[in-house]
Chain A
Amino acid sequence: DVKVTQSSRYLVKRTGEKVFLECVQDMDHENMFWYRQDPGLGLRLIYFSYDVKMKEKGDIPEGYSVSREKKERFSLILESASTNQTSMYLCASSFDRRGQNYGYTFGSGTRLTVV
């Protein structure tokens, strides 16, 4: 069964801390994504990567950075956590083949609380 694994289900961090959220997929997918989910706002794209060492900004990249050194791993970094980054963070991956199902496989999410 294909899997996207996020390293933590729940995290509590202090304002100003540097935070790392890790995501690993075992499907050899080219694309990986980081979204955050907030009530009423749906899922908003933070960053994505379509190849190793490649990254593209999504709709809300401010305050975040990413790293993709290996195909299976995509890390989201909060350089200096703030309370408005309290959210559910979802990692996803997908193939990059025209004509195929564009669907993502999501991880279970990390609920981050910044205090």
Chain B
Amino acid sequence: DQQVKQNSPSLSVQEGRISILNCDYTNSMFDYFLWYKKYPAEGPTFLISISSIKDKNEDGRFTVFLNKSAKHLSLHIVPSQPGDSAVYFCAATFYSFAGNKLTFGGGTRVLVKP
């Protein structure tokens, strides 16, 4: 049973336009959410995060929105650039004394066309 789902396996967007990536979760205990970016043959790198006490967090071209009632979050990339072409993973966690496990979604492959 996937607790974190990314329903769009791929997304193609023109350079300069907005990319919107979506993520849904089912576990109400999750209180912290993250997005990671992964290039081929590299490990994922942290992109942006949001706590459940907020509904928006912005960092440069990247903005994450959280809708707790809908158990939904989204990542907006504006404007999209060719270097943004990668796989993006949504992840969620809650605090536990036994370490902070991240539960990941299946990923969305983004292609930004010049």
Interface set of A (CB-CB < 8 Å, partner B): 4, 9, 30-31, 33, 35, 40-45, 48-50, 54, 56, 58, 90, 92, 94, 96, 98, 101-109, 111
B90 CB, nearest partner CB in chain A, Å: 9
Would you call B98 an interface residue if the criterion is a C-beta within 8 Å of the partner chain's C-beta atoms? yes
Give complex CA distance A98, B101 in Å: 13
Chain B residues near A90 (CB, 8 Å)? 43-44
Closest 7 A/B residue pairs (Cβ): A106-B43, A50-B99, A42-B106, A43-B104, A103-B46, A31-B99, A42-B104
Specify the main secondary structure of chain B where it touches its partner. loop
Interface residues of B, CB < 8 Å — how many? 27
Q: Are A56 and B98 in contact (CB under 8 A)?
A: yes
Q: Are A42 and B99 in contact (CB under 8 A)?
A: no
The residues in B between 76 and 108 inclusive whose CB is less than 8 angstroms from any CB of A are: 89, 91, 93, 95, 97-107
Interface set of B (CB-CB < 8 Å, partner A): 4, 6, 9, 32, 34, 41-46, 49, 89, 91, 93, 95, 97-107
Q: Are A102 and B42 in contact (CB under 8 A)?
A: no
Chain A residues near B32 (CB, 8 Å)? 102
Give complex CA distance A90, B87 in Å: 15
Q: Are B41 and A43 in contact (CB under 8 A)?
A: no
Chain B residues near A111 (CB, 8 Å)? 41
Nearest A residue to B4, CB-CB:
A42
Q: Are B99 and A43 in contact (CB under 8 A)?
A: no
Given A50-B97, A101-B46, A106-B44, 18 other A-B residues pairs in contact with their CB atoms under 8 A: A30-B99, A33-B102, A42-B4, A42-B105, A42-B107, A43-B102, A48-B101, A50-B98, A50-B99, A56-B99, A90-B44, A96-B100, A102-B34, A102-B102, A105-B46, A107-B43, A108-B43, A109-B42
